[in-house]
Structure 1
Amino acid sequence: MSTEDALAIDPKTTALVLVDFQRGVVEGMGGATALGPHTAEDAVGRARRTATALRELGGLVVMVRGSMGLSGVPFPAPRTDAGVPAGVPVPPHWAEIVPRLTDCADHVVTKHQWGSFYGTDLEVLLRRNGVTTLLLAGVATNLGVESAAREAYDRGFEQVLIEDATTAFDAAAHRDSVSRVMPLLGRVRSTEQVLAAFARH
């Protein structure tokens, strides 16, 4: 994580976008495959701290959750070498926000693909609220979170990945995304660095 420059954040033009902090991901997949390098409990706790602090300063908090549809796969679903097998039942709680974050969001956006922007009203919501900077956190770093970051970069948003409020199903994949991809799309900081930026403002 960089410490080269003091992070400047204007809460009034900032949104915290929490990606896939939902029971089907955190409890379902996370239960079958341990999350890393940060535990689900730690990532959720840091996301909550950031959300609470930002909302107190007048910032926006948006929860993005993935709805896989009744078939258990995204739609449309092009063929891939590694994907969710067709016909896998979707748990009824799949898209439910994890309990510790249910009261944190100003808006909930439902997506049907990896990305948070494609086919959703996320961009309209952000633009109409005057948002120019995104704080990103969620599960999994190299999948839904990175997809959101790529889309946000293409749309000209400033963005900061909150590294320790983000985790993955593979710690190596998390580290690769954080070190190789995310610095090309924005800045990578810790929860404490983001909270310190709030305090400076």
Structure 2
Amino acid sequence: MDLELQSKKTALVIIDLQKGIVQFPGAPNATTEVVANAAKLSQAFRKQGGFVVLVTVGSRDGGDLLHPIVDQPMTTSVQRSADFADLVPELHVQPTDHLVIKHQWGAFFGTDLDLQLRRRGIDTLVLCGIATNIGVETTAREAYQHNYQQIFVSDAMTGLTAAEHEHTLQYIFPRIGRIRTTEQVLTALGL
């Protein structure tokens, strides 16, 4: 196999698997499948002593979020529940996990993610989460600009629509990293 992962130099970065986001239907992968595969990956990384990063999008009062004038708003006025930003329980958050709260699409801007990865000597990221073409893709573009090697787990991410998901997998990710399945990543970890 062309994928070899060193757990000490590779981090798993899971984007927005939080209660307020997994409630939306994913396409083409169901959010339940995405959560199950991300949970397998996080367990495997922890077992190998790897660094697990759990990213959520949140806001104190809405004032720290971006409010651009757009032609197509992301959502209608969704009422955010008190547990909107809580990670899904299937991820079994551990004290060794690094938690990142972002206030926009990407996990690097305005957070300590790059600092924490570099301090640990990490040079490769395994990315998954929701939505493929929004949070995952923006984080991937930022990681590319920070010179990280990247692996995108196609069956551990989903888009708002199948077309958006497929566009990112077909045209963006192959230019900035490698696309693999959950099983291929687990095999590369020696599991």
TM-score by length of 2: 0.92
Q: Which moved more, 1:80-89 or 1:124-133?
A: 80-89
Q: 1:69 to 1:84 in 2, by over 3 A?
A: farther
Match of 1:167 in 2: 158
Q: Where does 1:14-25 land on structure 2 (aligned, <5 Å)?
A: 14-25=10-21
Match of 1:79 among 64, 69, 78: 69
1:87, 1:164 → 2: CA distance? 29
Match of 1:193 among 181, 184, 190: 184
Q: 1:74 to 1:161 in 2, by over 3 A?
A: farther
2:154, 2:169 → 1: CA distance? 7
Does 2:96 match 1:100? no
Q: Where does 1:68-147 land on structure 2 (aligned, <5 Å)?
A: 68-71=59-62, 75-84=65-74, 89-103=79-93, 106-147=97-138
**Number of corresponding residues:** 190
Q: 1:182 to 1:74 in 2, by over 3 A?
A: farther
8 Å CA contact 1:22–1:94 kept in 2: the answer is: yes
8 Å CA contact 1:68–1:90 kept in 2: the answer is: no
1:84, 1:167 → 2: CA distance? 16
Identity value in percent: 40
Where 1:149 maps in the other structure, the secondary structure is helix
The superposition leaves residues 9-33 of structure 1 with CA deviations (integer Å, 9 ceiling, x where unpaired) of 1111010000000111112xx1xxx
Does 2:32 match 1:36? no
8 Å CA contact 1:70–1:90 kept in 2: the answer is: no
Amino acid paired to 2:26? L
Match of 2:4 among 4, 8, 29: 8
TM-score by length of 1: 0.88
1:161, 1:85 → 2: CA distance? 25
Where 2:111 maps in the other structure, the secondary structure is coil
Note the aligned Cα RMSD (angstroms). 1.9
Amino acid paired to 2:16? D
Where 1:173 maps in the other structure, the secondary structure is helix
Amino acid paired to 1:119? G
Q: Which of the pair is proportionally richer in helix?
A: 1
Q: 1:153 to 1:89 in 2, by over 3 A?
A: same
Shift of 1:107: 1.1
Amino acid paired to 2:143? A
Structure 1: any 5+ residue segments left out of the alignment?
none
Shift of 1:53: 0.9
Q: 1:86 to 1:53 in 2, by over 3 A?
A: closer
Where 1:65 maps in the other structure, the secondary structure is strand
